[in-house]
Chain A
Amino acid sequence: QKEVEQDPGPLSVPEGAIVSLNCTYSNSAFQYFMWYRQYSRKGPELLMYTYSSGNKEDGRFTAQVDKSSKYISLFIRDSQPSDSATYLCAMSFQGGSEKLVFGKGTKLTVNP
């Protein structure tokens, strides 16, 4: 079983839809969870950061962590064409950022 699993998609939705992106993981020691957004031919940029379990909301974006199920989600409300990108989950446990483990990324297209 891979340490972090993420469905690569692609995922195509109409503008205004609610999008749900997910990752599962096997290492119960993970406690820091991130979502990075990567536009085509660009480097990833941090979108959301969550420590341990719970929800975090930032505008149209909500990050959810369920440590009991080893499952994290990113919800995008009222999706826009500008949200079209690849979304990578990333997670880590105590230690340096060199231990960050990335998912494969899910490619999302929001159609106008």
Chain B
Amino acid sequence: NAGVTQTPKFRILKIGQSMTLQCTQDMNHNYMYWYRQDPGMGLKLIYYSVGAGITDKGEVPNGYNVSRSTTEDFPLRLELAAPSQTSVYFCASSYWGSPAVNEKLFFGSGTQLSVL
């Protein structure tokens, strides 16, 4: 199984450009998440989804958009990229969506994004 696959692995954007970070999982998980990880900082939740067609904001949603048209895919859209969006982005998925059942989040390998 591939697990959670993110593309691209690296990207450099100019200020004001837009791009979509792709995330696909093959584990039939309903729950999917987008995090960003800044140097020396913990993971911050951007958006999450509890199933196809349902998304909700996390802690740091400004400047981002998501969609969930299928169970497998959860793309993250950056509009009008800003230097503050320079970060490593991780997509994750889980089966139960709750820590009460020894929940395990499966993470992708990340996308390193620089906005210059």
Contacts and interface: CB of A to CB of B under 8 A. Distances in A.
Contacts, number: 65
Interface string A70-99: 000000000000000000100010111110
Contact of A43 (B4, B58, B94, B103): B4
A107 B20 CA distance: 30
- Using C-beta atoms within 8 Å of the partner chain, give the interface range for chain B: 20 to 34
Interface stretch (B11-19, B38-46, B62-70, B79-87): B38-46
Contacts of A46: 104-105
Nearest to A45: B107
B99 interface: yes
Contacts of A97: 31, 33, 94, 96-99, 103, 105
Interface of B: 4, 31, 33, 40-43, 45, 48, 50, 56, 58, 90, 92, 94, 96-100, 102-105, 107-110
